[in-house]
A and B are shown apart, each in its own frame.
Chain A
Amino acid sequence: DAGITQSPRHKVTETGTPVTLRCHQTENHRYMYWYRQDPGHGLRLIHYSYGVKDTDKGEVSDGYSVSRSKTEDFLLTLESATSSQTSVYFCAISEGREAEAFFGQGTRLTVV
């Protein structure tokens, strides 16, 4: 199995609070991705990174920010959580554009 871990695995937070999810890899892969998965929507790309300090927006980036200060860590921050951000969040890593992506086990976030 690819070395990718997400933390926390579950979190309940209150509306308006900041939340940070962490994705950590031990594979030294260049690309890292953050997705959210909701019923009826599949996996939607939030942000992705193609190198240290190189990030770009995905399909649903509003309300989210990311940082990648080192190869192994990709952080997703919800500056002020809203109920619409209740979801399952997946991180993925990939060696390159033509390489398969490996997924973390997901983080279930509930905003109340």
Chain B
Amino acid sequence: GQNIDQPTEMTATEGAIVQINCTYQTSGFNGLFWYQQHAGEAPTFLSYNVLDGLEEKGRFSSFLSRSKGYSYLLLKELQMKDSASYLCAVNNQGGKLIFGQGTELSVKP
């Protein structure tokens, strides 16, 4: 079967750093994606990892460990506009793009 787990909710303070974890078990692996989704809007792409290690893009970084089936998204210097849902997704061997339930992040002043 396929399973992607991430925490349902997280709260953090403006200016802080937050790490959102994602664990996965899938049949095949073509890469792991992170998306951001603001309420009432469509998801938008944040990052992609296919090899182990850290990918950095501005205030956002994403890490992957394929042997552990684990990834995290790191958000630095949090801003109020970062309040959103963060979605972890895996593209498996067959080309299916499967999402976790999403983590609702609330950034407080």
Contact = CB atoms under 8 A, between A and B. Distances in A.
Contacts of B42: 90, 103-106
B58 interface: no
Contact of A48 (B87, B95, B102): B95
By secondary structure, the B interface counts as: loop
Give the bracket for the number of chain B residues in contact with chain A.
20 to 34
Nearest to B44: A103
B60 interface: no
Nearest to A41: B101
Contacts of A103: 42-44
Contacts of B33: 100-101
Interface of B: 2, 30-31, 33, 41-45, 48, 50, 87, 89, 91, 94-102
28 contacts: A33-B97, A35-B99, A40-B101, A41-B101, A42-B99, A42-B100, A42-B102, A43-B43, A43-B89, A43-B99, A43-B102, A45-B96, A45-B99, A48-B97, A56-B94, A59-B98, A90-B42, A90-B43, A98-B31, A98-B50, A100-B33, A100-B45, A101-B33, A101-B89, A101-B97, A103-B42, A104-B42, A106-B42
